Amino acid sequence: MIAWAIAQGLKLITWALSVREWNFKRLVEPGGMPSSHSAFVTSLATAIGMSVGFDSIMFALSFAFAMVVMYDASGVRRAAGKQAKVLNAILEDLNRRELHPERLRELLGHTPFEVLVGALLGVVVALWRMR
């Protein structure tokens, strides 16, 4: 939970640095730098590995879980965000014709780099807490 909280706080800071404004909604919105999901699952897997062994069934399960979560964050949800961006462009064009559809959320997933940074953060936090 500590890795997740740190990642969420860093999302707020990295957003503020990139757009030069504070947006506290970033604390609960998906996407952004670093991936809090990746931080959480890698911290969990690392802590399990350190507690019961890296050759245990529990670590294998937590590692597989982490891989699925990180794949989803950088693959499936990122693709959905790209599709939302295209659909929003279409909707903007339609808006010129007096329709007013709701914009879709575009920032859903993470870049591979955001996932990697979140994963490294999770490992570091678990190593720090388990020492």
Peptide bond before residue 101 is cis, with ω within 30 degrees of 0? no
Instruction: Identify whether the C-beta of residue 23 lies closer than 8 Å to the C-beta of residue 38.
Output: no
pLDDT (tens digit per residue) in 18-71:
888 888 877 777 777 888 889 999 999 999 999 999 999 999 999 999 999 998
Res 73: pLDDT: 82
Res 131: pLDDT: 81
pLDDT (tens digit per residue) in 89-116:
777 777 666 666 666 565 666 788 888 9
Residue 19 neighbours by CB distance under 10 Å: 10
Kindly tell me if the per-residue pLDDT of 76 is higher than 60. Answer: yes
Distance CA 19, CA 32 (A): 12
Inter-residue long-range contacts of 48-55, CB under 8 Å, 24+ positions, other chains counted: 50/126, 50/127, 50/130, 51/130
pTM of the model: 0.73
Res 99: pLDDT: 60
